[in-house]
Amino acid sequence: MVETLTPDICVIGGGAAGLSVAAGAAAFGVPVVLVERSRMGGDCLNYGCVPSKALIAAAKHAQAIRKATEFGVSAGEPIIDYARLRARIHSVIEGIAPHDSVDRFTGLGVKVIEDAARFLDERTVAAGDHLIRARRFVIATGSSPAVPPIHGLAETPFLTNETLFELKRLPEHLVIIGAGPVGLEMAQAYRRLGSRVTVIESSAALSREDPELAAIALAEIRAEGTLLLERTMIHSVEQATRGIRLLCETGKGRFHVEGSDLLLAAGRAPSHASLDLDAAGIRQDAGRIKLGADLRTSNRRVYAIGDAAGGLQFTHAASYHARLVLQQILFRLPAHEARDIVPRVTFMDPELAQVGLTEQEAREKSGSADVVRWDFSGNDRARTDGLGRGLIKIVVGRRGRILGAGIAGAGAGEMINLWAFAITNRLTLKHFRGYVAPYPTVSEIGKQASISYYAPMARNRLVRSVIRMLRCFG
């Protein structure tokens, strides 16, 4: 028997984006059907943000033990119990999973269908023994690891973020393809846990980031012993006696890289191929859904959000997309994606965070921009805590308006929150100059940088003349 459902909203995908839409709509009493073919919580909970940050946390503790001698504390080389570490990662996932579970969403009033979905026409989706005719559809199917077209890769065992955390042993020598945020986060974590690590990148590492800030994070990862091969082409991959072997080439010639395990971190691809988008009249371009700034597809009934929308592949961007879509569906209010207000963080150590325009982007967009810098070495808390190198860069437009901010250093991911707030609300450096920051905190660097922007006023002849005149009045 086929059951026909007629909800207001049908959400396809139970990851961060889809769950946010479903929970938000259900809170207002709107009928919602959620279709998820795999695990509730999606990539972030099961394979991405949660397990990776749990691994990074363990690696950070290991590194803190090594650096303890700098503070007069002797501890020796850390001993890694990988079985216990892996068990903790899975316990963290299990602790969060109930929040994203079928039971919770059913309790919220959402009809959850655990099956694959596909469009039959412009307003009908089939999922198992259900036909869903909704007023609006939201595609939130996420993304999956991209597999680069390297000769021999299909015949060679490899890991992705979807299988990495099932590994039951610490890799002896982990070879990573891709020096973006995921590749370098895992590289540093496994190096700190005791693995040898080699990262191979066809272009520049962290190529999307401000080069001055990226250099600080890359210098640390190299200093810790990770071999980073940039601008290196991979000709082939094959299984070897003790693991894998890659044939690589740079301007200096060809060479082999051998390792025990291979991790692919060469980007991600949208996971909507099975939806039969053509049947729904949804246009695509090179496998990506074509969207307007309002996140609507060419079928006006259908939206795409999160990784399915392309571009911003972050959990917080998925939640942002969900809010924009709910604003349109529930309240009939216009909404448009503004990518400049969405921050991004690479959780290396030191962390790398950015929101708004980088220095280069600002100069390309407006032709000129002021840049204010403040080094962590000028911050007392950074010195007392031995936080190492760090830098904040603030891109400033006319009348001191904040156009962008980038931070490389300890706690950058936390500090970028304030700058994201500033850009969203079109604040200027004057607002930062005037607030009181507690001492000693690392976040003071933002205020210190803001004050430095106005420092030239102290040397202004007119300002000095006014002060001299005012002194005459006693």
pLDDT score, position 43: 93
Q: In 3D, which of 308, 396, 415, 307 has the Cα closest to residue 357?
A: 396
Longest dimension (CA), the chain: 94
Domains 153-266 and 350-454 are alike in CATH topology: no
The SS3 assignment for 163 reads coil
Radius of gyration of the chain (CA): 25
Instruction: Give long-range contacts, CB 8 A cutoff, 24+ apart: 385-390.
Output: 385/410, 385/442, 386/67, 386/70, 386/71, 387/350, 387/411, 387/442, 388/220, 388/350, 389/216, 389/219, 389/220, 389/350, 390/216, 390/350, 390/445
Q: How far apart are CA 175 and CA 1, in angstroms?
A: 51
In sequence order, the β-bridge partners of residue 428 are 401
Q: What is the CATH number of domain 3-145+269-340?
A: 3.50.50.60
> Strand 117-121 relative to strand 196-200: parallel, antiparallel, unpaired?
unpaired
Q: Where are the domains of the chain?
A: 3-145+269-340, 153-266, 350-454
pLDDT at 462: 80
Instruction: Look at residues 215, 213, 165, 155 and name the one whose alpha carbon lies nearest to residue 189.
Output: 165
What are the tokens at 418?
A: 């304030």
Which DSSP helix (H) or strand (E) runs through 100?
Answer: none
Pairing of β 136-139 and β 9-12 = parallel
| pLDDT at site 1 | 80
* CATH architecture of the domain formed by 153-266: 3-Layer(bba) Sandwich (3.50)
Closest listed residue to residue 17, CA positions, set 119, 144, 142:
142
Strand order in the sheet with 117-121: 3-5, 130-132, 124-127, 117-121
Residue 232 near residue 402 (C-beta atoms within 8 A): no
Q: What is the pTM of this model?
A: 0.94
Residue type, 8: D
Distance CA 399, CA 392 (A): 20
Give the pLDDT confidence score for residue 367 in this predicted structure: 76
Per-residue model confidence (pLDDT) at position 438: 95
Alpha helices in 193-273 (DSSP H): 211-223
CATH number of 350-454: 3.30.390.30
Distance CA 237, CA 246 (A): 5
- Structure tokens belonging to residue 203: 């272009």
Mean pLDDT of successive 10-residue stretches along the chain, which has 474 residues: 95 97 98 97 94 98 96 93 97 97 98 98 97 98 96 97 95 98 98 98 97 98 98 97 96 97 96 96 94 97 96 93 98 96 98 97 86 95 96 94 97 97 96 91 93 80 80 80
Helix, strand or coil for residue 321?
helix
Do 33 and 10 form a contact (C-beta atoms < 8 A)? Answer: yes
Instruction: Tell me how crowded residue 211 is: count the other CB atoms within 10 A of its CB.
Output: 13
Phi-psi region of 178 (alpha: psi -120 to 50; beta: other; left: phi over 0): left
Query: Can you give the length of the chain in residues?
Result: 474
Provide the pLDDT for residue 228. Answer: 98
